Amino acid sequence: MQVMDLFKSDLFPDFRLLAGDGGILHPVTGITVFDAPDIYKWLRGGELIIGNAYIFREDQEAFIAFLQRVRENGASAVGIKLDRFFGDVPQQVLAAADKVNLPLIFIPFSYRWADIIDLVHGAIQKKAPSPVLLQEEEVLDVFSLPSRFVAVIAKEMKRPVAVRCPSLNLCSLVHPDKAPSSFPTEQEYFSAELCDEEGLPPRGNIRVSRENRCGAFRISSMVYKYDGPPFCEVHVILRPNENAPPLQSERLLVFLLNVIQANARASETKEPAPEETRSEFLQRLCLGNYSDQRIAEGKASALGIRFPEESFVALIHDSEPCPVLNGCDKGVLSFRMGSSLILIVPWAERENCIGKIAQFCSRKKIWSVFGRKCGALLNVADSYMDCRRSLAILKKTFLPPGAYAYEEAMLFSMLYKVKDTHEGRVLVDRYWRPVDEMPGNSRTVQPADVVAALIQNGFNAKKSAGALHVHYNSVRNYISEIQTATGLDFGKPMDTFLLTLCYLLVKEKEKRKSGIYAFRAGEGFSS
């Protein structure tokens, strides 16, 4: 049996999982009661450890060390009674259980140890690896029927659930009831523009975010993804004005994610289909379908693909076949994924390739983004996801289409977290409003134009005058007036940072794409 089986209706339906979701598939081969912190010395592996945790009631650090040690020695889960000696389990303890993927289970006070031991022993004796029982009438083999399992989870949660795992060819959006005609299909949902994303605290090695998708519909969802490959994700569609699913629903989602990833990992060891092409392999690599470096390298070698030791991913969105690679095609791997051209570029060719891509995108008025450096084959997936995340962020900004680095997108991601806060509004009111209110009707260049040029040129007055096509003394006069109005000193780095931050906050909010100077790292401002 597995840890997840403990929560079935015929065993302990009122047991509750507190933390350690990543370990719910651990096998349970025995059970023991702990009354001392060094019980880990006598574990054989696979035990469910139960107790009242009295010995840890005043020593949180000892409790954390206990969880780490029993897991290191093979324990599958820990069950504790909270009612007698504990109130709530400290957050640091829950985090420790999540970190080592050790399920921490709440046991109601009414249970006798002897009854728990008898029931667990009985279940182990008659249990073969078997289906999961979500309801008494619904038995389901989750490892052979992942799509149907999604439907059961959606029904259980009473919310639409979406899953995606390319290595399993799994892309599904399931409504718990009959979906209304206006409800999007899988393709519509996953292809819809990501108009807002908020990162939330991770659950162990699972990344969590709240996303808003736009298009013919607007849907908010909570998304759960693994940090590493193989790529798989689970979405739950939130109800109006709902910020997160109920805790028990989240446990089901994490369990579903674990099941899907277990299937995906198992599929890695299978031989590639005879018709698998070079492009298909590169797509799978970018989507994070491989978790074993050796397997990925073997498949690359079989397809005659040589990867550079260090590289990065570039994504050119909505691109036609283009001559971007002319003159910088040394070791560059290229393929198409949907409407985008994906390039895996040797790091040594970075400067040359980025320059050519930037020129091409500026001329064609299309988007391109660059991910972080990859030091290993499996890091390609991280660099590719940088590109996808960056593209979604940049499309929401005032910036025009062009070539951008991952770091630039992250800057605007941070701006989104600040722009509508009290602190952001205070900064803008304090340091930007005086610039906005400066008289400028008779001027050929407005004060905001001067600030933009100064930011672009490192607050160098001479260079800014050249960019604005005005006399040097005029810029110096503008600088003096702006400093007086704002109380800032452009000779102090912190003051120039404050003005730059306010400028970006204001321009991002306005989303103006012409008639102003827009921040562009590398190319500067463009009007």
Task: Please state the pTM of the whole predicted model.
Answer: 0.44
pLDDT at residue 515, as a whole number = 31
**pLDDT for the residue numbered 128:** 40
Instruction: Tell whether omega for the bond before 230 is within 30 degrees of 0, i.e. cis.
Output: yes
How many CB atoms are located within 10 Å of the residue 208 CB? Answer: 18
Three-class secondary structure assignment of 301-343: HHCCCCCCCCEEEEEECCCCCCHHHCCCCCCCEEEEECCEEEE
Do strands 77-80 and 193-203 pair parallel, antiparallel, or not at all (unpaired)?
A: unpaired
Model pLDDT, residue 64: 92
CA-only gyration radius of the chain, Å: 28
Q: Where are the domains of the chain?
A: 3-130, 138-268, 278-414, 420-510
Report the distance separating Cα 415 and Cα 33, nearest Å: 51
Write the CB contacts of 451 (distance below 8 Å, at least 6 apart in sequence).
Answer: 435, 482, 499, 503
- At position 471, the amino acid (one-letter code) is H
**Entry field: residues in the chain:** 527
Q: CA nearest 519: which of 475, 434, 458?
A: 458
Please state, in angstroms and rounded to a whole number, the distance separating the CA atoms of residues 473 and 393.
Answer: 39
CA distances from 318 to 105, 128, 313, 517 (A): 49, 51, 16, 25
Strands 161-165 and 138-140, by their bridges, are unpaired
**Strand pairing category for 403-405 and 368-370:** parallel
* Alpha carbons 12 and 10: distance in angstroms, whole number: 7
pLDDT tens for 238-266 read: 888 788 887 777 777 888 888 787 777 76
The predicted-structure confidence for 123-158, as pLDDT tens digits, reads as follows 887 654 333 333 333 333 334 445 567 777 888 888
**Longest CA span, the chain:** 90
Which pLDDT value is given to residue 509? 67
- Residue ranges of the chain with pLDDT lower than 50? 128-145, 273-275, 326-328, 441-442, 512-527
Alpha-carbon separation of residue 250 from 198, 257, 267 (angstroms): 17, 10, 26
Q: How far is CA 365 from the centre of its chain?
A: 28
Give the residue carrying structure tokens 């598939």.
Answer: 25
User: How far lies 519's CA from each of 97, 251, 367, in Å?
Assistant: 44, 43, 15
pLDDT at 121: 84
Give residues with Cβ within 8 angstroms of 485, minimum separation 6.
Answer: 434, 435, 437, 438
Pick the CATH number of 420-510 from 3.40.50.450, 1.10.20.60, 3.40.50.2300, 1.10.10.2840: 1.10.10.2840
Q: Which residues pair with 336 in a beta bridge?
A: 341
Do the domains spanning 138-268 and 420-510 agree at the CATH topology level?
A: no
CATH 3.30.1600.10 fits 3-130, yes or no: no
Task: Give burial (CB, 10 Å; 0-12/13-18/19+) of 199.
Answer: exposed
- At residue 126, the pLDDT reads 67
Write the single-letter amino acid at 257.
L
Q: Which one-letter DSSP state was computed for residue 229?
A: S
CATH of domain 138-268: 3.30.450
CB atoms under 10 Å from CB of 232, counted, come to 28
Tokens of 24: 């719910």
